[in-house]
Amino acid sequence: MEKIDSWIEKVIINLGVSEGAAPYIRLLVLLLVIALLAWLFFFITKRLVNGVLLKYVKRSRVKWDDMLMDNKVFSNLAHIVPAIIVKVITPIIFRDFEKIVPFVIKLTDIYLIVVIMMVINATLRVSEKIISKSKAFVDKPLSSYFQLIRIILYIAAGILILSILMGKSPVYFLSAFGAMTAIIMLIFKDTILGLVASVQISANDMVRVGDWVEMPKFNADGDVLAINLNTVKVQNWDKTVTTIPTYYFITDSFKNWRGMQESGGRRIKRALYINARTVKFVDPETRERYLEYYLLKDYITQRQKDIDRHNKEHNIDTSVLINGRRMTNLGVFRHYVESYLRNHPGIRKDMTLMVRQLNIEDRGIPIEIYCFTTTTEWVKYEEIQADIFDHLLAAVYFFDLEIFQQPGGSDITRAFSGKST
């Protein structure tokens, strides 16, 4: 090696370089030689990776090795070989430049740490993709945990790089971090809160990827796309994306519609407002008309028998409509609505189904429908709900009732026309 160094230096001097500048030129030449050797070994290693390994990956039936190749795990590994070789031969090549050797070795060590971090990071990405496809973890906030692992690795890599540059033990920097705990907690406040929230969300099964959540504070109403360490992404129904800090799912209230989706039925809770002036007793003539309605025939017959028995037992004079027990058109309509729902193919019979009369309001008498559809799909749910209320809005007039609504232009016109005539 000494002979080679002497030969290089003589060649440099013969080229017209002074003896004082010759060592520096030789240093540049050696640095160039190191760079060329590193590139050569990298080229050879990469060709082996892309050649031999690529053929093996294509032949194998498993998918994880394809993912490793696509995420450049093996390509990043090819950087390690030249770095190790440079570290080994540096003391030999630069034996006459003692001050250069530690500098080159430090750069090589830092380069190795960066490459290893790239390999680990790519491997973590592959692991996350593989685990997320498993049925057991498909709805778990895996991104949060992998982000936490990455943060820990980045901190560890940063400590190692600092220890190499400053020539101190990593323990020295760890003790310094202990003294800077308050500053670290301030800097990583959101990350720490997000970590705690992610653990609680996962442990209590509060939110999963794919859940329909509603958080009015952030105008969020849609499906959860991702649960990360610091944020939860929600795609709203208008296809906009709302990003919410993870810890707000612990500190604030929100609505999760998962229970509805898992139950297989979505609730209908809507009222018809009946004009109170149209409510009246059912006379015999009206009762006969109601008997023609298929859904009411059995009910009217049985109900009238019960009423007649009660009135007879108490010797009530039924010639006056207000005396005794009688059916009302509103009561009959309420039973008709319930019978209609129980016979509707889009309504679940094994879940709560009722038609109730609420307190009278300035808009009329609310007849509320409370039931569940046989589907949770939004479009089909709206179709079933619209079909039911289309029918009831048309059927209400068969019971001599009216739907209450605010008077419009045509109503006012008819009112004045009637008054003038």
Decide which of 192 and 355 is more confident.
355
Q: Of 298 and 200, which is predicted with more confidence? A: 298
- Comparing CA positions, the residue from 388, 311, 306, 314 lying closest to residue 346 is 388
User: How far apart are alpha carbons 27 and 417 in whole angstroms?
Assistant: 109
pLDDT at 373 over 80: yes
| pLDDT for 216 beyond 70 | yes
- 421 — pLDDT class (breaks 50, 70, 90): very low
Residue 280 pLDDT > 90, yes or no? yes
- The reported pLDDT for the residue numbered 224 is 92
Angle (CA) 291 296 298, round 5°: 85
Residues 6+ apart with CB under 8 A from 333: 274, 367, 395, 396, 399, 401
**Predicted confidence band at 386 (pLDDT cuts at 50, 70, 90)?**
very high
Q: What is residue 243's predicted lDDT score, i.e. its pLDDT?
A: 92
Quote the pLDDT of residue 87.
79
pLDDT of residue 408: 64
Query: Comparing 109-123, 353-367, 368-382, which segment has the lowest mean pLDDT?
Result: 109-123
Give burial (CB, 10 Å; 0-12/13-18/19+) of 141: buried
List the structure tokens of 333. 């309509």
**154-199 pLDDT, tens digit each:** 888 888 888 888 877 777 777 766 666 667 677 777 777 877 887 7
pLDDT at 104: 79
Of the chain, the percentage scoring pLDDT greater than 90 comes to 30
| pLDDT of the residue at 270 | 94
pLDDT at 49 over 90: no
Q: What is the DSSP string of 270-296?
A: EEEEE-GGG--BPPHHHHHHHTTSTTT
Over the chain, what is the mean pLDDT?
81
pLDDT of residue 36: 81
H/E run at residue 224 = strand 220-227
Q: What is the pLDDT of residue 368?
A: 95
What is the structure's pLDDT at 6? Answer: 56
pTM above 0.85, yes or no: no
Q: What is the pLDDT of residue 166?
A: 82
Q: What is the mean pLDDT of residues 366-385?
A: 93
Section 314-342 average pLDDT = 89
CA–CA gap between residue 96 and residue 90 (Å, rounded): 11
Note the pLDDT of residue 123: 84
| More confidently predicted of 32 and 25 | 32
Percent of the chain at pLDDT exceeding 70: 79
On whether the CB atoms of residues 248 and 215 are closer than 8 A, the answer is yes
pLDDT at residue 420 greater than cutoff 50: no
Residue 141 has pLDDT above 80, yes or no: no
Instruction: Please state the rounded mean pLDDT for residues 376-387.
Output: 93
pLDDT of residue 168: 79
398: number of Cβ within 10 Å: 14
pLDDT digits 0-9 by tens, 100-111: 778 878 888 888
CATH numbers and ranges of domains, the chain: 1-133 (no CATH), 140-258 (2.30.30.60), 267-420 (no CATH)
Asked whether the predicted pLDDT for residue 26 surpasses 70, the reply is: no
d(CA 167, CA 77): 26
